[in-house]
Chains A and B, each alone.
Chain A
Amino acid sequence: MQTLDMAEIALRDLNETLHAQAENTNQTAWEIVNPKGAHAIACGLDAPIEVTVKGHTGYYCGGMNKQATINIKGSAGPGVAENMMSGTVVIDGDASQYAGATGHGGLLVIKGNASSRCGISMKGIDIVVHGNIGHMSAFMAQSGNLVVCGDAGDALGDSLYEARLFVRGSVKSLGADCMEKEMRPEHLEILADLLEKAGADAKPEEFKRYGSARELYTFKIDNAY
């Protein structure tokens, strides 16, 4: 286990050290202590390493992640795992606004609650929230799966494209062009797999599925240029 102490090492040096880890590195386990809400911790990683951050993080922790597994033993500030490509980010506490925004792949697990705009414009990432999510979540979400074991706030899935949204609890309101859809066997299968990966104690049958009604301007072929 390698330990990086943010009380002693500058953020840029910390990220450069993690960026220097190659595909076949022997140093696969890293621990970051004293994060104290710093921004951009463990951003842009691209190696199959496991990084554990002991404490709360600020803006953009784990952004653009590829391959790495990042565990946050605390809560995460805005934009956690933004534009993640692959790998896994697991947050033990809560996540602030726009968690997993624009993510292309990988798995984001939030064991507490997520704030507003969770999964905004997601493009293939899977997000599992053990608690609740805030308003405007999955706004313009294009693909991937958002699984919410608790409740969803206002305007869920506004202007949605092809992402699948699964909510176990209540949905305060649906956004424009978002509708409840039937849960088919293939959806239950996806859900069971994601719940297991995320260590969430919930049954797929308890969820409802939401998706795009495909009625907005963007879905009308006559509006194409």
Chain B
Amino acid sequence: MCGIVGLFLKDKSLEPELGSMLTKMLVTMTDRGPDSAGIAIYSNDSMGKSKIVLQSDTPEIDFAGLDTALGNAIGAPVTMKIANTHAVMTLPEGTIENARAVIADINPALRIMSRGDTLEIYKEVGLPKDVAARFEIEQMSGSHGIGHTRMATESAVTTMGAHPFNTGNDQCLVHNGSLSNHASLRRKLRRQGIHIETENDTEVGAAYLTWQMQNGATLGEALQSSLDDLDGFFTFVVGTKDGFGVVRDPIACKPAVMAETDQYVAFGSEYRALVDLPGIETARVWEPEPATVYFWNHSTKPSKEKAA
């Protein structure tokens, strides 16, 4: 069991409230996943910058002077904002790949939580309310975000085993369920040169999507093929730069509830997660169908692709 929440705002006036709305949703899902929690939040405008979020177990040591060190290494100005165990490094657009390559040289203890123009991922071990408080998620604004509360079944309770998982620039994945072929798929993906750090099943799912997209698939195509290649139970929610997507395995035993109003599209593992949203009493509430890829984004109308 795990809990997933997602919120995609259509009404710009709600954007300052995104962090507090998502935090309430996340905390409601605590009894589905008290082990660790994480949140991916997308700000509306990158203003020509990119961001890498780093994590350290000893932030006071590892983050000291890190902005200067990273700036010197990539030859560009870098600013740093520290939030508890995480540091948001802001760098010029187009320098992400360069920065990723040198971070391990600067300090191999640093872990990359997320990379992209608008995405920031914060995740840690602990109760969702405590994790949200550590990073002051409630204060954050943004256009959309997804969150996860984990009840670990397949691997250890660690920061790197917490969701969301970053799958590419401005992309992330959260998962409720368990993948049963993750060991063989991990070996296969590692042979293809894909970096997989932990024994976690969802990290393999995330790496699978990354690998598919490196080979030219769109996110929608990668999700579609995950229905054939991933064995096990999953409800996935993926965050993208301009929206989010939902897919459930064909058996669909992991729950999912969606709600839509003129102001937002929301996702919850249970309806309980949605009850504090404005206008929920009159929202359209439904369950996403099995083996069907859904997307909501700001640039196009909602789409729904049925698996062949």
Interface residues of A (CB under 8 A from B): 36-38, 56, 58-59, 75, 77-78, 93-94, 96-97, 115-116, 134-136
Q: Is the CB of B253 within 8 A of A77?
A: no
B287 near A96: Cβ-Cβ < 8 Å: yes
Of B251, B255, B275, the residue contacting A96 (CB under 8 A) is B255
How many Å lie between the Cα of A58 and that of B250 in the bound state?
A: 22
Contact partner of A115 (CB less than 8 A), chosen from B250, B274, B287, is B287
A-B contact pairs, 28 of them (CB 8 A): A36-B271, A37-B272, A37-B273, A37-B274, A56-B271, A56-B285, A58-B270, A58-B271, A58-B272, A59-B270, A75-B271, A75-B285, A77-B255, A77-B270, A77-B271, A78-B255, A96-B255, A96-B287, A97-B253, A97-B255, A115-B252, A115-B287, A116-B252, A116-B253, A116-B290, A134-B290, A135-B252, A135-B290
B275 & A36 in contact (Cβ 8 Å cutoff):
yes
In the assembled complex, the Cα of A77 lies from the Cα of B272 at a distance in Å of 10
| A75–B250 alpha-carbon span in the complex (Å) | 23
A contacts with B: majority SS? loop
Set A38, A94, A96, A97: member contacting B272, Cβ < 8 A: A38
The reply to whether A37 and B275 form a contact with Cβ atoms under 8 Å apart is yes
- Measured CB to CB, the closest approach of chain A to B289, in angstroms, equals 8
* Min C-beta distance of A99 to chain B, whole Å: 12
Whether A36 and B287, one on each chain, are in contact in the complex, defined by CB atoms closer than 8 angstroms, is: no
In the bound complex, CA of A151 to CA of B53 (Å):
48
Chain B positions within 8 Å of A58 at CB level: 270-272
- CB A214 to nearest CB in B, in angstroms, measures 26
With A94-B286, A94-B287, A115-B287 known as contacts, the answer to whether A37 contacts B255 (CB < 8 A) is no
| Pairs of residues from A and B, 6 with the lowest C-beta to C-beta distance, nearest first | A37-B271, A37-B272, A36-B275, A56-B271, A115-B287, A116-B252
List 13 other contacts, CB 8 Å, given A37-B272, A56-B285, A78-B255: A36-B271, A37-B270, A37-B273, A58-B270, A75-B271, A77-B270, A96-B257, A97-B252, A115-B252, A115-B287, A116-B253, A134-B290, A135-B250
Encode B271-291 as 1/0 by CB contact (under 8 A) with A.
111110000000001110010
Q: Which A residues are in CB contact (< 8 Å) with B271?
A: 36-37, 56, 58, 75, 77
Per the bound structure, the CA–CA distance linking A136 and B290 in Å amounts to 12
Across the interface, which residues of B come within 8 angstroms of A56, CB to CB?
271, 285
Q: A95 CA to B275 CA in the complex, in Å?
A: 18
Q: Closest CB of chain A to B118's CB: distance in Å?
A: 31
B285 partner residues in chain A, CB cutoff 8 A:
56, 75, 93
CA distance A58 to B274 in the complex (A): 12
- Most chain-A Cβ atoms within 10 A of its Cβ — which of B250, B272, B286? B272
Residues of A within 8 A of B287 (CB): 94, 96, 115
* Residues of B contacting A37 in the complex (Cβ-Cβ under 8 angstroms): 270-275
- Measured CA separation A59–B287 after assembly (Å): 14
Task: Give the residues from 9 to 37 in chain B that come closer than 8 angstroms, CB to CB, to chain A.
Answer: none
B242, chain A: closest CB distance, angstroms = 29
Nearest-neighbor residue (CB-CB) of B289 within chain A:
A134
Considering the complex, which residues of chain B in the window 224-267 have a beta carbon less than 8 Å from any beta carbon of chain A?
Answer: 250-253, 255, 257
A56 to B286, CA, bound (A): 12
